[in-house]
């Protein structure tokens, strides 16, 4: 069961505890950085091809395994790399839509792993397709963009609660599965004639499905990733010195006594039963009591 543990009082961007905001920030930062460098090439009257060769290719995932070995960071930069403004705006809208649902339905700490795993699956699908379908052209083939990660998030959210409704005040609302179908069709139809892009989307969707199935079976494949994420973000947060004033020493010093520890009245079995019900019938079929239990569990490290 995922949980929310927002920390109030944080003033640094890198210390945000909302992974969805972090994903959006990373996408926007890469877009601004790459376009800024591209503008330098333009104003310097350098050929655009030089920008792609010297800069852009070092952020994209190559279809050539040898280049991947010499540029391993492209595995991470690939899902955040995009130059076109309209594509970035569209991707951010879909990312916010499905990312918010994933956070709300299964917890904040599942968002990053689902996104990264799906993006990696898309990248693997691209490399494999290029190797078997176009082996003589792999040196000139590159892949990038957040779409695969978003496809994975859409599948995760839809599997958890396909009947979740948008705009419920308008004719009862639009079910999530319809929104997801529209999103996937828009992307798949656009690349249906290009296996190099079609297979990665299918791979990303399959990874999203596998991720949520393993999670509902009790296997959190993203745990290690969250630990790394927390460690990295903590490196950018200035440490605070702990000091105990006179008042603290006089009124709050336990003097060796064990302080009060809050005990949760929730059971893992109860939470698992509710998750199974969501998986089978959808979030909207939960009782008010079950919804309150989920809300309480989301506030605790459960």
Whichever domain contains 204, its CATH number is 1.20.1540.10
Q: CA-CA distance, 60 to 62, in Å (whole number)? A: 6
* 40 assigned to some structural domain: yes
Asked if 206 and 148 touch (Cβ cutoff 8 Å), the reply is no
Same domain, 131 and 227: yes
Quick one: pLDDT at residue 194?
80
Same domain, 224 and 273: no
Q: CA-CA distance, 227 to 80, in Å (whole number)? A: 21
* 254 assigned to some structural domain: no
* Cβ neighbours for 199, distance < 8 A, ≥ 6 positions apart: 125, 126, 128, 129
Same domain, 151 and 93: yes
* 194 assigned to some structural domain: yes
Quick one: pLDDT at residue 116?
95
> Can you list the residues of the chain whose pLDDT is less than 70?
1-17, 233, 236-269, 279-282, 284, 298-302
* 10 assigned to some structural domain: no
Quick one: pLDDT at residue 237?
63
Residue 41 burial by CB count (10 A; 0-12/13-18/19+): exposed, middle or buried? middle
Same domain, 227 and 160: yes
Q: CA-CA distance, 251 to 247, in Å (whole number)? A: 6
Residue 131 burial by CB count (10 A; 0-12/13-18/19+): exposed, middle or buried? middle
Helix axis angle, 111-133 relative to 223-235, nearest 10°? 110
Asked if 16 and 26 touch (Cβ cutoff 8 Å), the reply is no
* 134 assigned to some structural domain: yes
Alpha helices (H) along 163-252: 176-191, 195-216, 223-235, 246-251
Quick one: pLDDT at residue 300?
63
Q: CA-CA distance, 255 to 270, in Å (whole number)? A: 38
The closest alpha carbon to 15, from 236, 299, 240, 228, belongs to 236
Q: Which domain holds residue 157?
A: 15-232
Quick one: pLDDT at residue 113?
93
Quick one: pLDDT at residue 301?
53
* 48 assigned to some structural domain: yes
* 245 assigned to some structural domain: no
Same domain, 185 and 298: no
* 218 assigned to some structural domain: yes
Quick one: pLDDT at residue 191?
80
């Amino acid at each position: 069961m995922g949980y929310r543990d927002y920390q109030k009082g944080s003033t640094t961007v890198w210390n945000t505890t909302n992974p969805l905001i972090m994903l959006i920030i990373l996408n926007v930062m890469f877009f601004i950085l790459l376009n800024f460098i591209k503008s330098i090439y333009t104003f310097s009257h350098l050929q655009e091809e030089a920008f792609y060769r010297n800069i852009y290719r070092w952020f994209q995932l190559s279809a050539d395994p040898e280049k991947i070995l010499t540029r391993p960071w492209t595995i991470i930069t690939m899902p955040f790399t995009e130059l076109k403004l309209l594509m970035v705006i569209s991707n951010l809208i879909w990312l916010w839509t499905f990312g918010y649902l994933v956070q709300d339905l299964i917890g904040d700490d599942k968002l990053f792993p689902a996104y990264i795993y799906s993006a990696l699956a898309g990248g693997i699908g691209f490399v494999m397709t290029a190797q078997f379908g176009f082996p003589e052209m792999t040196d000139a083939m590159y892949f990038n963009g957040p779409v695969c990660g978003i496809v994975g998030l859409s599948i995760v959210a839809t599997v958890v609660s396909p009947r979740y409704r948008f705009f419920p005040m308008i004719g009862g609302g639009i079910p999530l599965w319809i929104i997801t179908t529209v999103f996937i069709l828009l992307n798949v139809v656009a690349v249906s004639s290009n296996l190099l892009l079609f297979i990665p989307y299918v791979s990303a969707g399959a990874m999203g499905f596998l991720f949520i199935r393993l999670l509902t079976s009790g296997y959190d494949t993203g745990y290690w990733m969250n630990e790394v994420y927390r460690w990295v973000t903590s490196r950018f947060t200035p440490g605070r010195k702990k000091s105990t004033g006179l008042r603290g020493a006089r009124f709050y010093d336990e003097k060796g006594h064990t302080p009060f520890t809050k005990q949760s009245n929730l059971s893992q079995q109860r939470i698992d039963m509710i998750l199974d019900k969501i998986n089978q019938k959808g979030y909207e079929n939960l009782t008010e009591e079950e919804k309150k239990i989920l809300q309480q569990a989301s506030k605790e490290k459960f």
